Amino acid sequence: MARKGSGRELSDAVREAVEHALQRTLGSAERTRGRAQEAVDELVGALDELVRGAEERIARSRHTVRGLIEAELPATREDAKRLAASLRRIERRLAAIERRLDELARDANARGGGSVEQPS
């Protein structure tokens, strides 16, 4: 004859076996999830590096292209204004030098010290 408690013991044993199986499955799933997360993190890091490298190369290329284009562009109105201002400064300095030479020549002639060549 079957014992009274054996049905309950069997039920408890089955329940316990199912719980252990679920815990092992959950543990395995957590480890798998952890490994998958690590792989995703590595992939994201590698992609970030690729993107940064590509952005740096694009920036260098833009700079190079911009430099090449600017080297080939005609002078702008602003460039012409700067050149004109530089020329005016040079003209003023040259005029001052010529005036000084004229003064020196007159002084030399007035003292009778010979002739000083005049600029042509």
The reply to whether 81 and 66 lie within a common domain is no
The reply to whether 56 and 96 lie within a common domain is no
The reply to whether 45 and 83 lie within a common domain is no
What pLDDT is stored for residue 1 in this prediction? Answer: 43
Rg of the chain taking only CA atoms, in angstroms: 47
Contact 115, 108 (CB under 8 A): yes
The reply to whether 6 and 63 lie within a common domain is yes
The reply to whether 67 and 79 lie within a common domain is no
| Domain carrying residue 108 | 75-120
The reply to whether 52 and 68 lie within a common domain is yes
What pLDDT is stored for residue 27 in this prediction? Answer: 80
| Number of domains the chain contains | 2
pLDDT under 50: residue ranges of the chain? 1-2
Tell me the per-residue pLDDT of 47-63, one tens digit each, with 9 for 90 and over.
Answer: 999 999 999 999 999 99
- Rounded Cα distance between 92 and 98, Å, is 10
